């Protein structure tokens, strides 16, 4: 990766062309953040709506009950208390590992964006259980804390002159370790292990937020001169997905610390 001194030094182009690339980069980053924000809105709305549809206050309509006393209707029991919950839990991960790359290669920019929004909806389904476990106040509070931290980390990743590529490789290895540890803890149910996973997870995805932001910027600079708008549009959605995943994981891990249970 090139040394991050200035955009003009990287590109070695004239002032007018450099200014054009600067303006294009700002527009590209705005599109990345806007797409990510829409995805987060879809996820939040889907999670809240599904949690509401899955619960009941009528004991006669309850098909199952959570330890905190929340009653689930037939839909809720199917989503949260049947083997289907494993499909809901692991389907988004399977899509990222096996489906997203194929979508990026074969679909148009509009198709990639639609795929991202469908993925955001699926995440809303898998994340909906937090509304049954944690108070709405603590969810809102944790979201705001995450948003502030994410904004600062992303800004640092965008403006720093330090090359973060080496750190990114290390952090992605950390993500793999976290996934393995979380799968193991599904069976162990160890609070101490969950605390360690959450602590490490916050740090890993905080670092990835800065790394992905710098990578998005670097990819735009490397491809802007080619004028391939279709590629850049797809790259914006891909960047939005990377930042979306970092934000969402930071939020979930922080919720383990800041969340107050019902």
Average pLDDT across the chain, whole number: 90
Quick: pLDDT tens for 108-148.
Answer: 999 999 999 999 999 999 999 999 999 999 999 999 999 99
Q: Write the DSSP symbol of residue 129.
A: T
d(Cα 37, Cα 159) in Å, to the nearest integer?
21
Please tell me the pTM assigned to this model: 0.90
The pLDDT value recorded for residue 256 is 92
The band of 17, judged by pLDDT with boundaries at 50, 70 and 90, is low
pLDDT for position 146: 97
Give phi and psi for 57, each to the nearest 5: -105, 0
130 and 47 Cβ atoms separated by less than 8 Å: yes
Rg (CA), the chain: 20
The pLDDT tens digits of the residues spanning 22-35 come to 888 999 999 999 99
Give tens-digit pLDDT for 158-172: 999 999 988 988 999
CA distance 244 to 262: 27
């Amino acid at each position: 990766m090139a040394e991050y001194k200035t955009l003009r030094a990287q590109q070695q182009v004239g002032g007018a062309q450099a200014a054009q690339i600067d303006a294009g980069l700002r527009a590209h980053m705005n599109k990345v953040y806007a797409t990510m924000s829409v995805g987060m809105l879809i996820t939040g709305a889907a999670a809240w709506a599904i949690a509401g549809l899955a619960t009941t206050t009528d004991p006669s309509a309850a098909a199952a009950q959570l330890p905190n006393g929340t009653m689930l209707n037939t839909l809720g029991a199917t989503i949260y208390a049947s083997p289907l919950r494993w499909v809901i839990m692991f389907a988004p991960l399977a899509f990222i590992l096996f489906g997203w790359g194929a979508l990026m290669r074969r679909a148009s920019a509009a198709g990639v964006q639609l795929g991202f929004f469908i993925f955001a909806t699926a995440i809303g389904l898998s994340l909906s259980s937090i509304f049954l476990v944690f108070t709405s106040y603590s969810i809102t509070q944790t979201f705001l804390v995450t948003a502030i931290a994410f904004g600062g980390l992303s800004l640092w990743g965008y403006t720093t002159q330090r090359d973060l590529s080496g750190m990114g490789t290390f952090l992605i290895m950390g993500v793999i370790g976290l996934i393995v540890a979380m799968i193991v803890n599904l069976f162990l149910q160890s609070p101490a292990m969950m605390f360690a996973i959450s602590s490490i997870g916050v740090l890993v995805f905080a670092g990835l937020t800065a790394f992905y932001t710098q990578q998005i910027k670097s990819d735009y600079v490397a491809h802007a001169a080619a004028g391939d708008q279709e590629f850049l549009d797809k790259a914006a959605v891909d960047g939005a997905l990377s930042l979306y995943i970092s934000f969402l994981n930071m939020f979930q891990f922080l919720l383990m610390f800041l969340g107050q249970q019902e």
